[in-house]
C-alpha cells in the first residue's frame, strides 16, 4: 500500500478506519483468500487496491469480485503504473473500479501533481443531494467539490499545462516504446540481481519497479540506501513483506527504471547497474570500493547525458 492508504501517521489513518491486507509469504503476491476473509469480517464501505512497492500487475478484476461480494466500492491507486496503463502494457482498472487515483509524475512522466478519475458516473448512495433542487448528486460532482473548494486553493496553471504536455506525449508511438523499455529494463535488472543471489520480492516484476529484500544479506535498507547514494546510485529504503525492522530502517530497497530509461539506458546498461549495486552492497564498509564505484557510475552516466544539445554553460541567458 501507501501511507495514504490508512497509515496511522497519515491523515487517512487518523480520519478513517482501515484494515490492511497482505501478500502471500511464498509468492509475494496479494493473498486474495485473506482479502476476502477480511472483507467479509469487517464489511468496509471502500476497498483500496494498488500501492507504491508492488512489482506485479494490480489484479483489478479479482478485487472487484471481493468488493461486489460485500457491496463495497472499489478504488484503485495507479500512481506508479499509470503510464503503463495508458499504453495498455499494464491492465486497465476499467470497468472494475468505481474511482481511480493517480499521480502524474511517475511512469506518466509529467509534472508533480495528481488526478482523480471516474469511469461510468453514478449517483451517490449515501444521501448527498443538491441543496435547492434535492437532486441526488453524482459521485463525480462530490469528488470535484471535495477537491475545490474542499481541500485545494488556487490551481497551478503551469502544472496544468505540464500535465497537458505529458498527456500529449503519452499519445505518441515513442511513448509506447518508452514504456515497453521501462518494463524490459526492470525485468533484466531483477533477473541479473536474482542471478547475483538477491531475494527479489515476488521473484521478479511486471512493471517499472524492483523490490529487493536484503534480510539474508544482514544489511538494512537504510544502510544500503546511504551507501548506494555515496556511490551515485539513488534508491530508497523500503519495507518488504513481513519486515521485522521499522519503517525508518527497513529490510529492503526499491528501485525504478523510468528515469534511466528516459536517459537512454537499455538492457546492457541495466546489467551494469545491477553489478554496480552488487559491488556496493557486497563491500558496504569499504569506502574505497564505494568511491571507485561512484567513478564507474559517473562514466556510465556520461554516456547518456540528460541534455544532449547543449552544455550547462551554453544555456541561453535571461535578459
- Using an 8 Å Cβ cutoff, are 53 and 20 in contact? no
Instruction: Judge whether residue 318 has pLDDT over 90.
Output: no
Position 315 scores a pLDDT of 47
Position 7 scores a pLDDT of 83
* Spacing of C-alpha 252 from chain mean position: 15
Q: Are residues 283 and 196 in the same domain?
A: yes
- Last residue in a domain, options 120, 140, 170: 170
pLDDT, tens digit, for every residue of 103-141? Answer: 999 999 999 999 999 989 999 999 999 999 999 999 999
**CA atoms within 13 A of residue 93's CA, in its CB half-sphere:** 28
Mean pLDDT score, 197-212: 97
Instruction: Judge whether residue 42 has pLDDT over 90.
Output: yes
What's the rounded Cα separation, in Å, for the pair 289 and 158?
44
Q: Are residues 126 and 231 in the same domain?
A: no
Q: Which domain holds residue 298?
A: 183-302
Q: Are residues 187 and 58 in the same domain?
A: no
Does residue 175 form part of some domain? no
Percent of the chain with pLDDT over 90: 87
Q: Are residues 29 and 90 in the same domain?
A: yes
Q: Are residues 159 and 49 in the same domain?
A: yes
Residue 203's pLDDT band, with cuts at 50, 70 and 90, is very high
- Last residue in a domain, options 170, 204, 223: 170
- Last residue in a domain, options 141, 170, 199: 170
Count Cβ atoms within 10 A of the Cβ of residue 208 and give its class: 0-12 exposed, 13-18 middle, 19 or more buried: buried
Q: Are residues 221 and 155 in the same domain?
A: no
Summary mean pLDDT of the chain: 93
pLDDT, tens digit, for every residue of 147-179? Answer: 988 988 888 899 999 999 999 999 999 999 999
Does residue 317 form part of some domain? no
Q: Are residues 163 and 188 in the same domain?
A: no
Total Cβ atoms within 10 A of residue 190: 26
Q: Are residues 28 and 74 in the same domain?
A: yes
pLDDT, tens digit, for every residue of 82-97? Answer: 999 999 999 999 999 9
Mean pLDDT score, 64-86: 97
Q: Please report, for the domain that includes residue 292, its CATH number.
A: 3.90.1150.10
- The DSSP H or E segment spanning 306 is none
Q: Are residues 54 and 187 in the same domain?
A: no
Q: Are residues 192 and 132 in the same domain?
A: no
Does residue 257 form part of some domain? yes
Position 1 scores a pLDDT of 73
Q: Are residues 157 and 32 in the same domain?
A: yes
- What is the number of domains present in the chain? 2
DSSP bridge pairs for 69: none
Does residue 313 form part of some domain? no
pLDDT, tens digit, for every residue of 255-314? Answer: 999 999 999 999 999 999 999 999 999 999 999 999 999 999 999 999 998 876 655 455
Q: Are residues 30 and 54 in the same domain?
A: yes
Does residue 308 form part of some domain? no
- The predicted model scores a pTM of 0.91
Helices 267-282, 173-195: crossing angle, 10 deg rounding: 40
Does residue 312 form part of some domain? no
What's the rounded Cα separation, in Å, for the pair 48 and 67?
10
Position 171 scores a pLDDT of 96
pLDDT, tens digit, for every residue of 205-216? Answer: 999 999 999 999
Does residue 250 form part of some domain? yes
Cell of 207: 512493471
Q: Please report, for the domain that includes residue 132, its CATH number.
A: 3.40.640.10
Does residue 110 form part of some domain? yes
Amino acid at each position: 500500500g501507501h501511507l495514504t492508504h490508512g497509515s496511522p501517521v497519515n491523515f487517512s489513518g487518523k480520519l478513517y478506519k482501515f484494515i490492511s491486507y497482505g501478500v502471500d509469504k511464498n509468492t509475494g503476491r496479494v493473498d486474495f483468500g485473506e482479502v476476502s476473509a477480511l472483507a467479509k469480517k469487517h464489511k468496509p464501505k471502500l476497498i483500496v487496491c494498488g500501492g507504491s512497492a508492488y512489482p506485479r500487475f494490480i489484479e483489478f478484476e479479482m478485487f472487484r469480485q471481493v468488493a461486489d461480494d460485500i457491496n463495497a466500492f472499489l478504488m484503485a491507486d495507479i500512481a506508479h503504473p499509470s503510464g503503463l496503463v495508458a499504453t495498455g502494457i499494464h491492465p486497465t482498472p476499467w470497468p472494475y473500479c468505481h474511482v481511480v487515483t493517480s499521480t502524474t509524475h511517475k511512469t506518466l512522466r509529467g509534472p508533480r501533481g495528481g488526478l482523480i478519475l471516474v469511469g461510468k458516473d453514478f449517483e451517490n448512495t449515501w444521501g448527498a443531494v443538491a441543496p435547492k433542487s434535492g437532486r441526488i448528486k453524482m459521485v463525480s460532482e462530490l469528488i470535484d467539490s471535495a477537491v475545490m473548494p474542499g481541500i485545494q486553493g488556487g490551481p497551478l496553471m503551469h502544472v496544468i499545462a505540464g500535465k497537458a504536455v505529458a498527456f500529449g506525449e503519452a499519445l505518441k508511438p515513442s511513448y509506447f516504446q518508452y514504456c515497453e523499455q521501462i518494463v524490459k529494463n526492470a525485468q533484466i535488472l531483477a533477473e541479473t540481481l536474482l542471478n547475483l543471489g538477491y531475494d527479489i520480492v515476488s521473484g521478479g516484476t511486471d512493471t517499472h519497479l524492483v523490490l529487493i529484500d536484503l534480510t539474508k544479506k544482514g544489511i538494512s535498507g537504510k544502510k544500503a540506501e546511504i551507501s548506494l547514494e555515496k556511490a551515485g546510485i539513488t534508491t530508497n529504503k523500503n519495507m518488504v513483506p513481513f519486515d521485522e525492522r521499522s519503517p525508518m530502517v527497513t529490510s529492503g530497497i526499491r528501485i525504478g527504471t523510468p528515469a534511466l530509461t528516459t536517459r537512454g539506458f537499455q538492457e546492457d546498461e541495466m546489467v551494469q547497474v545491477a553489478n554496480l549495486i552488487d559491488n556496493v552492497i557486497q563491500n558496504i564498509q569499504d569506502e574505497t570500493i564505494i568511491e571507485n564505484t561512484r567513478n564507474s557510475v559517473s562514466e556510465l552516466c556520461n554516456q547518456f547525458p540528460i541534455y544532449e544539445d547543449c552544455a550547462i554553460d551554453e544555456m541561453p541567458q535571461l535578459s
